[in-house]
Structure 1
Amino acid sequence: MRLLIVGRLDGQLTAATRIAIDKGAAVVHADSIDTALKTLRGGRGADLIMIDVALPIAALISALEAERIHVPVVACGTATDARAAVAAIRAGAKEYIPLPPDAELIAAILAAVADETRDFIVRDDAMAFVVKLADQVAASEASILVTGESGTGKEVLARHVHGKSGRAGKAFVSVNCAAIPEHLLESELFGHEKGAFTGAVARRIGKFEEATGGTLLLDEISEMDVRLQAKLLRAIQERVIDRIGGGKPVPVDIRIIATSNRNLGEAVRAGTFREDLLYRLNVVNLKIPPLRERPADVVALAEHFARKYAVINGIEPRGIAEEAKRELIASRWPGNVRELENTMHRAVLLATGPEIGVEAIRSPDGGRLDATVESRTRDAASAAAMTAEAVTRALVGRTVADVERDLILDTLDHCLGNRTHAARILGISIRTLRNKLNEYTAGGLEVPQPGESRIAAA
């Protein structure tokens, strides 16, 4: 996690810096917005910017957008400065951190930006086999494709491979291809020269050059536009990249690891992914099994998360009752490790006895996770049979386009405007979702923005 702090390093901002370093962040300081932009252009990069609320945040965000630099911004300032906090959010800051800093709040924001858990715990033979293969190929220079459902720990395994490789002492740079808009991704990867487009006021080093000597992780590569895939293929084959607007190739020395939660073979057949690029990336495939197929990992991870969140919340650590363990193993865990972590955090807070009992293992809406897989399947089938006719009747007389529109907007509303999550639920690519939403916006419909509901958007 690379953190760029912008502002004067005195008082509470210095304390925030120390906390971030203690939480594992690599921190770089810039005393002004101009210095921060020079740092980002120069190839040092950042996964998150933390800026003093007293500085012109709107100017920073406008400059980032103009130069096609994709990095989230959070503001920080005194807890009593509510007006400045509101202005920062309106200017485009993702969060506001009150000062003096709270260690766990900063840790939570760093974790949210990373969007992953670094806890690498393996007990089940199915996962141990994958890790053994990863260890075997880590020392090579081969490109690796890590596949598996969302939340299984693909980035964690990618970092493990990097740590076991000869490049461990160099940079590990991660790019989420699904989270970065298409028109920004090319500049994010390859950089650009001064004057390459409106707003390109200076040369900017991209992620390929940032990662030189180390490892570049292309997360959710299936979401990358086909046209950009051609440029990526050349970079992998020739070990050179072309900055946007550049006149000569730039050599790079990196190891590529890519991840996908989709079947790339099907994407090739659908024409959304290049077959030659798949061959280049898939020299070694590390396929992570879903958590429901790793029962030994379920218990080990649950115990780990129980200890972790007991410490974080100042609660005496407790064991997990045998009945609760059986409950956890019986669950399907569609959200995999990420869902299990949230469940155990909730359980730590809800448990009242000497152990974490089955009554504390609850779903986000407060419901019990006390049914076996078989009983849940039967219940779901029964409910589906009872409601199928009613649903069908409700759709009669409506066009397919109308039904599709309402489904997309309702799902986006459910995800509070998070397009990546909505696309995963809908089973479509983020690019397809963006195109649909652009159509709806052009037609005069209000589309929720990140953090909004349809009611708020309206």
Structure 2
Amino acid sequence: MRLIIVGTLNGQLGAASQIAMDNGAQVTHAPDAEQAFSLLRSRGADLLMVDVALDIKPIIADLRAEHFSVPVVACGIGTDARSAAQSIRDGAKEYIPLPPEAELIAAVLEAVAEDSKSFIFEDPNSLAVVKLAEQVARSDASILITGESGTGKEVFARYVHEKSNRSRKPFVSVNCAAIPENLLESELFGHEKGAFTGAVARRIGKFEEADGGTLLLDEISEMDIRLQAKLLRAIQEREIDRVGGNKPVKVNIRIVATSNRDLAHEVREGTFREDLLFRLNVVNLRVPPLRDRPADIVALAQHFAKKYAEANAMPDRPIAADTMGFLKRHRWQGNVRELENTMHRAVLLAQGDEIGPDAIMLPDGSRPEGVEATAPAGGSDSADHRANSAAADGDAGAQALVGKTVAEVEQELIIDTLKHCLGNRTHAANILGISIRTLRNKLNQYEAAGLSVPQPGWGDKTPV
């Protein structure tokens, strides 16, 4: 990971830098924001660590103005709560007090950069793909990784890079679906000063950032066909033209691309260039869906249960055997992402010594097929009576929704879930299956409309 530390940090800079380097980061120092932006434009970075003695708010604004999608972590001497809170309000993702603690910096670097090196597989279907990846990794051949959304295509791409002869060079990823069409060309190839409105200085693109290493073009099927022609030339000629430039720039990279679509079908539809497909698809790694990798479901479920127990300071509970059976039978249309979110919720909802079936809940509030809530101990109702009661409750619940808009039902669900979590936004977002940003936007809307929104610490009892 490429880290730029911005500021002087009153003598703590060396210690923070060394800890970051010990955790695998490539560290560069910039004494002020101006030099930090110069480094960003010429080298790129994955993370900025900024001294709170500097004004973070304009730095965040300038990052957005120049379309840098680089997270910012604030740091400062001591544990000034006011400075920490202000830095978060100004746009920093985290705050690290100094003198630095090795474990804290390591955890923040991993969490903010989202660069998990975990590559977990146990299933023979996964093993076959891994063996093929290892076989071709040391070549410079372009690789196309295909599979459904959430199967772990980027994880396989990183694995190929780590096993390649370029492993000590950068691994740079660009999500072609997440960047607006009019900005993607500049993101890939860079631009010269004045090339377009907002181009305040020369900036290198992802191709130059990845020089000597690997460039991942994630979800390449989303790229406009007009830009595909320029991409094809860059791959064939091993040189790029910056937007607004008049001199080609040589690059030495290995291309890995991913797609969740059938690119042969896209070629027939006229939305993807056939010659580009041939150039990318020298080797195809097809990642099977999670439902075809039952042994991976077991390994990943155990991994996520442990991970989120630690993250939420909760007991590390084993997964009950009947719960694991339900997990293995579920279809997992969202693949690994869906399983991860489900296990995160399960860790938060679990009671007792194990993660039982009651803790397994899907994003829409339903349960996987065959999972039922445990009946209260000592109940004497017959199975038929319980079924009839459940049906009656379901009818009553449905009747209660009649006459309400979707927005009203959504609002009630969000507020009730937030109350259940005692106002904890992170827990509520995970139970709801939405991002924390989406939840915050919804809550801001509700507050603007005059609705009372539960704050952290709401209530006086532990959620069940």
TM-score after normalising by structure 2: 0.72
The 5 Å alignment of 1:334-345 reads 334-345=333-344
Q: Distance in 2 between matches of 1:272 and 1:135?
A: 32
Q: Distance in 2 between matches of 1:2 and 1:151?
A: 26
The one-letter code of the counterpart of 2:441 is E
Q: Distance in 2 between matches of 1:13 and 1:340?
A: 40
Residue 452 (1) aligns with residue 441 (2): yes
How far is the alpha carbon of 1:259 from its aligned partner? 1.1
The one-letter code of the counterpart of 2:289 is P
The one-letter code of the counterpart of 2:93 is E
- Give the equivalent residue in structure 2 for 1:356: 355
Q: Distance in 2 between matches of 1:84 and 1:348?
A: 29
Secondary structure at the aligned position of 2:441 is classed as coil
- Give the equivalent residue in structure 1 for 2:97: 99
Q: Distance in 2 between matches of 1:59 and 1:66?
A: 10
Contact 2:94–2:108 (Cα < 8 Å) also in 1: no
Residue 7 (1) aligns with residue 44 (2): no
Q: Distance in 2 between matches of 1:316 and 1:87?
A: 32
- Give the equivalent residue in structure 1 for 2:38: 38
Secondary structure at the aligned position of 1:149 is classed as coil
TM-score after normalising by structure 1: 0.73
Residue 167 (1) aligns with residue 156 (2): no
Unmatched segments (≥5 aa) in structure 1: 374-381, 395-405, 415-424, 426-447
Q: Distance in 2 between matches of 1:141 and 1:130?
A: 18
Secondary structure at the aligned position of 1:333 is classed as coil
Q: Distance in 2 between matches of 1:251 and 1:161?
A: 23
Unmatched segments (≥5 aa) in structure 2: 373-390, 415-432, 450-464
Distance 1:142 1:29, change over 3 A: same
Distance 1:331 1:163, change over 3 A: same
The 5 Å alignment of 1:421-440 reads none
Secondary structure at the aligned position of 1:35 is classed as helix
How far is the alpha carbon of 1:326 from its aligned partner? 0.3
Q: Deviation string for 1:65-91 (max 9, x for gaps)?
A: 45443433344557655488457645x
- Give the equivalent residue in structure 1 for 2:72: 73
Q: Deviation string for 1:3-45 (max 9, x for gaps)?
A: 33322234777776666556654443322101101111222x1
Paired residues, number? 400
Secondary structure at the aligned position of 2:195 is classed as coil
Q: Deviation string for 1:237-278 (max 9, x for gaps)?
A: 111100122221111111000112223233333433222222
- Give the equivalent residue in structure 1 for 2:236: 237
Contact 1:89–1:96 (Cα < 8 Å) also in 2: no
Secondary structure at the aligned position of 1:452 is classed as helix
The two structures, once aligned, show a CA RMSD in angstroms of 4.1
Distance 1:109 1:265, change over 3 A: farther
The one-letter code of the counterpart of 1:298 is I
The 5 Å alignment of 1:354-433 reads 354-363=353-362, 368-369=367-368, 371=370
Q: Distance in 2 between matches of 1:122 and 1:359?
A: 27
Contact 1:358–1:370 (Cα < 8 Å) also in 2: no
The 5 Å alignment of 1:124-163 reads 124-163=123-162
The 5 Å alignment of 1:221-370 reads 221-313=220-312, 317-363=316-362, 368-369=367-368
Q: Distance in 1 between matches of 2:234 and 2:447?
A: 44
Contact 1:57–1:88 (Cα < 8 Å) also in 2: no
Q: Deviation string for 1:99-124 (max 9, x for gaps)?
A: 36898886776556555653211111
How far is the alpha carbon of 1:153 from its aligned partner? 1.0
Contact 2:225–2:271 (Cα < 8 Å) also in 1: yes
Secondary structure at the aligned position of 2:192 is classed as coil
The one-letter code of the counterpart of 1:251 is K
- Give the equivalent residue in structure 2 for 1:403: none
The one-letter code of the counterpart of 1:337 is V
Distance 1:302 1:16, change over 3 A: farther
Percent of matched pairs sharing the same residue: 63
- Give the equivalent residue in structure 2 for 1:418: none
Q: Distance in 2 between matches of 1:370 and 1:13?
A: 54
